[in-house]
Structure 1
Amino acid sequence: MLALFLLNLLFLLPARAREQALFTSSVTYCNPPETLLIQQFDVAYFPNNHSVAFNISAASVQANTSVTAHLLLNVYGLQPVNFTIDLCHILNGALCPLPMYNFVGADIIQLPSSANIQNKVPDIAFKIPDLEGFVQLVLTEVGTGTVKACVQSTLSNGWSTHQPAVTWFTGAVVLLCFFVTIFSSADSFKATSFLFLELFRLSQFIVASCLFSLNYPSAFRAFCLNFSWAWFLFPMSPQSPLQNAINHMRMKTGGDVLDSSGSAIEYVNRKLSPYNAFVANSAPVLLTKVREVQTVTNSSSNVLQAGLPIYVNSLGITTPNAFTTVFLCLLMASGIILSLLGLSLLATRYSDRLRSLIPSSVLRSRWRTRSFFIIPLVFLPVVTLACDQWTLHDSWLASLFAALCFASLCGVAAYRAFLTQRGQGPTDFRSTADTAILGDYKPGHSWFISLPIVFSWFTALLVAFGQGHDVVQLPLFMGLEVLSLAALLVYRPHIRRGDNIMSICLSLGRLVCIGLMMAFIQRIAVSAIPRTIIGLGISVVFSCGFLWLLFRFSVHIVHHHRNAGRFHFLKEHETREPSA
């Protein structure tokens, strides 16, 4: 009974959130259970009145077992609670050996003032988002030292840098900017497309920066989840129809389909979490709350590695499903775009008024020109996930789709680069509408159109084939950004001075963020609190860059329409004045 009470007490120690409470966000066995079985465990600690609420279903299943209980609380590497109790020396030996019974119950209890928990836990544990803390209870057999039960629970205070409202806002705003760019006038499309692509690239860069085999702080990883839409990945249930369909396809085509219930696919190796560095048993920890307690150890097959596997699983998508999920989402989006194109062509063909405003030939030319505008948007996520799909050696059909997408995108990108360098017939490339796809460049600098695609290609290779080699991935990733910054400083390719300044500032900001991410390399072993501060600082830099680009895009649209209206008025005035 005391072991169960300690189990309750442990998982609740820190707190403060919206309602100033700390609660269990996951529960796992850190060793295969022999003595203590847990079916459900929910605990919350309220510091205002020092009370604990719990709902537990557990059982002691092994007879004649005498144990000691070791209790440990770890918050950002600090261990305010770390002690061992011999259960044979308390309660007159009532728990020696452990009694055989089931325990099911829910209650709220007041903690004694002698516990002095409020002075043992730092205040930051109640306020900082994505708290890095856990509690552990280990029952060890007296005499033999054999571990009979090991249970760990992660803690949450209710705050997180991953907010659905932020995801919806950023995604909706960028989608609106996309439609404004696509339907903008020819004279505005160059500048508008340049600003939009910089905005979308930054969003994709934020996600890419969270896909390496680094020891990311929880707060930074959660922040990157806000921009998963930029990689055409959306939070979904592992039991959603889309995921079930992908699992069925993989099962029929040679894939190894694990349990799709979501109960064991979001575990993370504890050695990747510095706040767990002092735990002797380095078992994994669950990221998201589940109802079934799982057994996960270092030898378990459901342990996720740092980088892309943790990221996609945090969205409810198993690693082998990631590419196919993006592929199907883009396939559906392509169907919608083609349907809109067909409807617009039919409308201009059978409507005299629309035909007079926008001839069908002009409409087809505009759609053909701006269709290439999609390539830089999908290149990085599709190529990265396609390469990653090959490393999994899973479904042959998914691998075939990955190969086709990889070859198609690389082929189209190479074709565009060829046209950029050769020009199209006797007409210089800059004089065609296609030059607007990636911005307005100076004469002789149109090769900058292909530079982001080349860097995206190398980034995809680093993420997919460099997993587990963080000391290689991050320096090479920084080298790519150094080359990008150097090219911008030397050539200053854009016609407008403001565009050159903006591109240089964005590249410099990305380079600074990559440099700060060196603290996340596992071998450097930076302690938890400095790493968390660095992660939050990088998040602030990324957020400021996103808002700055969004502001510039809005100012450009307003300024362009004002000038267009003024120009239209002057033209009318000029035509009326002679007749007067």
Structure 2
Amino acid sequence: MRFSSLGRLALLASLPAFVAAEPMLTSNSLNTCQDDSSFTASLFNVVYTPNNNSASVDIVATSSVEGNVVFDVAISAYGYQIIRTTVDPCKAGLAGLCPMTAGKIPLNFNLPVGADAASQIPGIAYNFPDLDATVRVFLNMTDTGKSVACVEADISNGKTVDLIGVKWALAVIAGLVLVASAIVNGLGHSNAAAHIASGALSLFGYFQAQAMIGLTAVHMPPVVRSWTQDFQWSMGIIKVEFMQDIFTWYQRATGGTASTIFDSLTTVSVQVEKRAIPDAAVNLYRRGVAAVPRVATSLMRRANVQTGSGSYIVYGIQRVAFKAGIETTNLFMTGLTFFCLFVVLTILGVAAFKGWCELAAKKKWIKPDTFLEFRNGWLTVLKGILFRLTLIGYPQMTILCLWEFTQVDSPAEVVLAVFFFFGMTATLGWAASKVIRIARRSVAMHRNPAYILFSDPQALNKWGFLYIQFRASAYYFILPVLGYLIIKGMFIAFAQKSGTAQAVGLLLIEAGWLVAASVMRPWMDKSTNTFNIAIAAINFINSIFLLIFSDVFSQPPLVNGVIGLILFFLNAIFALVLLLMVIVSTILVFWRNNPDTRYQFMADDRASFMKSQSQLTGTTELDALAATARGDKGGYKPGLDLDDDNESISSESMRRRTDTSLMGAPNHAGSGSLRGNMNPPRSPVDPSVPLFPAAGGPPRAPSPYGNNPAAFRAQHNASPWQRGAGYDH
């Protein structure tokens, strides 16, 4: 067999670029794979097209080798070596390489590739997405046989799973499901809305977990890098050309120095790090630093690792930015801006919907009671939505803000990072503490945390995003969720220089989260628990794969190639199943007259406590009597807000229970206050008058317990508001 033409292709055509309709193999960087390598390339672009059997070569190499060399070429796919041969540049007629001379070697020519070499390339190499193929070449001195250099290039075919259509589809589906949950809730189907919202948030969390895998500094196979790139939109990493110009201007205007890696692609190669950063690259980088002014050196350390030959190496968060076409110094501002835009557009959307509802009700396009609760308390609903958006964007902003602390792109950006990270953390922490205080107050008063958490519409609309997806007794679980997110974000942001540390840390975090979710099962019902535990299990499996990719086990490259394919297919199938489950459940909700019947009612009996505003605006005598029997304040108080100093069903009831001067007072509750009035208001119901007077109707029979509903409750044990919630014993 003739290997000379194949050797030329192997030596010159190397790393992947995958960008054309016609079959091709491309490479755009040459990596060193040996300490003190005497041959490097700052620019390396090779494109082989089988249709014309030629390779276009554009190389700027630097060599310190003098004399005749032999190329020892090894070609592997997915870690499996398929070709091993030697090439003599003198016999192959490679101009400028026989003999090898010291200095800079510019090469720009078209190299014909023989039919024999082309026939050895399988057809699948041109079609399988994210081809994981590598060419490694050792330069051995002819006279001594000693290796003086090692270079490695990755080969691409232009096909990838990193597709803009996939990103749009995932983003649109997640957004529509969240909107659907809000609409269903506005129509009064709170149980169905809670299930849809919980599924949508869990799905979005899974998307963000996939994106976080790509943000780690662990060296991953090409298909894993591209797959995780499909989910980077969930972290706000979205390229818009004019925005990038604005971010670059803002950074320079506030004292920063913007990286210009994309402006240098015609003269400098960028190595998208696939395996561990070679020691040779780090050594070359250190040697290059000594010869560069301090300002430029600082930029290189902050933005990307630059080797002594002039090429760049990107990994981790920088790798994601480069793949997205974003300068690394603009990444923080990109994520921050899209989060803010998301919040602003949501506010405008809610306000516009409120205006449309009022207009539609006035024009009688909809029934007067449609979306009544939203229309009457839309500001409280908006507060709850903003809190929910803060929770959704917290993983994204945690990673980007903490990473910005290590980059210091400009003083102003660091200030923004401090404000958003600590502001969002304090906001969510304070909201979680409010939920816990409300729940504890409910337990102290009613022996049931669900009572106040779900019976107060303002508390439910404002704080419900933190606990409605959990069962009532697991109201505190939002704190473990926040802790899980912040610790995970710290490992990703602060350990960018050690992929192994990130892999081990994420493995422990995901293992702990899986155990907690499986043992505690905090979500509201069995199906929701299964949904979230399955996501936790997949995240744990992914963390195991990530540990394998870190080469901590020193496994052969073939293992990494196979594991990369398994990770891709496993997560692609799982993501498809999750999407179908969420889409089908959402569609079925709109097809049912009463969507709540599709879901079993919660064991915590929350449905018994949920009181919509339309239900509470009634002032009938029956409502007042029911409120008196329960020991609640009668009627609905629009100003009720448990996080203010206003009166609430809990604060007033607690005062009655703890004020010794009122211990003997009847437990009647009207809409008035007992403060400053030792004579409690009388019940609006006159026992001597029939409850529902009708012509000729018999008078109401007197209660055998008189005006003391507490006697009835004592005889029948627990309050009807407590029965069935697991607090009877």
- Partners of 1:214 and 1:522 within 8 A in 2: no
Q: Deviations over 1:235-268 (max 9, x none)?
A: 45xxx22222222222232323222435258423
* AA of the residue aligned to 1:555: V
Change (3 A) 1:566 1:535: closer
1:365 aligns with 2:372: no
Match of 1:506 in 2: 535
Match of 2:178 in 1: 178
1:416 aligns with 2:440: no
Give the Cα–Cα distance (whole angstroms) in 1 for the partners of residues 96 and 501 of structure 2: 57
Give the Cα–Cα distance (whole angstroms) in 2 for the partners of residues 20 and 413 of structure 1: 52
Q: Which runs of 5+ in 1 are unaligned?
A: 285-294, 569-580
Question: Please, what TM-score do these two structures have when normalized by structure 2?
Answer: 0.63
* AA of the residue aligned to 1:469: S
Match of 2:401 in 1: 386
Q: Which of the numbers 215, 227, 230 marks the counterpart of 1:226?
A: 230
Question: Please, what TM-score do these two structures have when normalized by structure 1?
Answer: 0.78
Give the Cα–Cα distance (whole angstroms) in 2 for the partners of residues 413 and 229 of structure 1: 23
Match of 1:325 in 2: 334
Q: CA deviation at 1:477?
A: 1.8
Give the aligned CA root-mean-square deviation in angstroms: 4.6
Greater alpha carbon shift after TM alignment, 508-517 vs 218-227:
508-517
- Partners of 2:25 and 2:49 within 8 A in 1: yes
Q: Which of the numbers 511, 518, 522 marks the counterpart of 2:551?
A: 522
Match of 1:287 in 2: none
Greater alpha carbon shift after TM alignment, 451-460 vs 559-568:
559-568
Map 1:477-516 → 2, pairs under 5 A: 477-516=506-545
Q: Which of the numbers 400, 405, 414 marks the counterpart of 1:399?
A: 414
1:309 aligns with 2:330: no
Using CA pairs under 8 Å that are at least 6 residues apart, name the structure with larger relative contact order, 1 or 2. 1
* AA of the residue aligned to 2:379: R
Map 1:74-93 → 2, pairs under 5 A: 74-76=75-77, 77=79, 78=81, 80-85=83-88, 87=90
Match of 1:250 in 2: 251
Change (3 A) 1:503 1:71: same
Q: CA deviation at 1:148?
A: 11
Change (3 A) 1:373 1:11: same
Q: Deviations over 1:450-476 (max 9, x none)?
A: 332221111011111122333432233
Q: CA deviation at 1:130?
A: 1.8
Q: Which of the numbers 209, 215, 221 marks the counterpart of 2:213?
A: 209
Q: CA deviation at 1:410?
A: 0.2
Q: Deviations over 1:469-521 (max 9, x none)?
A: 33432233222223322223332223322212222222222222222322112
Change (3 A) 1:522 1:468: farther
DSSP 3-state at the match of 1:72: strand
Match of 1:578 in 2: none
Change (3 A) 1:398 1:146: farther
Give the Cα–Cα distance (whole angstroms) in 1 for the partners of residues 106 and 517 of structure 2: 68
DSSP 3-state at the match of 1:564: coil
- Partners of 2:30 and 2:44 within 8 A in 1: no
* AA of the residue aligned to 2:220: Y
Q: Deviations over 1:122-162 (max 9, x none)?
A: 77755543223344678899889999999765311233232
Change (3 A) 1:95 1:502: closer
- Partners of 1:489 and 1:504 within 8 A in 2: yes
Q: CA deviation at 1:220?
A: 0.7
Give the Cα–Cα distance (whole angstroms) in 1 for the partners of residues 95 and 385 of structure 2: 79
Give the Cα–Cα distance (whole angstroms) in 2 for the partners of residues 92 and 461 of structure 1: 50
- Partners of 2:29 and 2:270 within 8 A in 1: no
Q: Which of the numbers 498, 503, 506 marks the counterpart of 1:469?
A: 498
Map 1:41-440 → 2, pairs under 5 A: 41-46=45-50, 52-56=53-57, 67-68=68-69, 70=71, 72-76=73-77, 77=79, 78=81, 80-85=83-88, 87=90, 106=110, 109=112, 111=114, 113=116, 115=117, 118-119=119-120, 125=125, 128-135=128-135, 153-185=153-185, 186=188, 187=190, 188-235=192-239, 240-262=241-263, 263=265, 266-269=270-273, 271-272=275-276, 298-299=307-308, 303-304=312-313, 306-348=315-357, 352-353=362-363, 356=368, 357-359=370-372, 360-423=375-438, 428-431=452-455, 432-433=460-461, 434-436=463-465, 439-440=468-469
Q: Which of the numbers 12, 25, 28 marks the counterpart of 1:26?
A: 28
Give the Cα–Cα distance (whole angstroms) in 1 for the partners of residues 213 and 520 of structure 2: 26
DSSP 3-state at the match of 2:205: helix
Give the Cα–Cα distance (whole angstroms) in 2 for the partners of residues 91 and 322 of structure 1: 46
- Partners of 1:194 and 1:437 within 8 A in 2: no
Q: CA deviation at 1:53?
A: 2.3
Change (3 A) 1:143 1:183: same
Change (3 A) 1:140 1:562: closer
* AA of the residue aligned to 1:326: G
The structure with the largest alpha-carbon Rg is: 2
Change (3 A) 1:42 1:471: closer
Change (3 A) 1:254 1:75: farther
Q: CA deviation at 1:373?
A: 1.7
Count, aligned residues: 541
- Partners of 2:69 and 2:140 within 8 A in 1: yes
- Partners of 1:17 and 1:127 within 8 A in 2: no
Match of 1:576 in 2: none
Change (3 A) 1:189 1:265: farther
- Partners of 2:255 and 2:410 within 8 A in 1: yes
DSSP 3-state at the match of 2:470: coil
Give aligned-pair identity as a percent.
Answer: 16
DSSP 3-state at the match of 1:210: helix
Q: Deviations over 1:357-386 (max 9, x none)?
A: 445323333222232221221000111110
- Partners of 1:10 and 1:73 within 8 A in 2: no
Q: CA deviation at 1:345?
A: 4.0
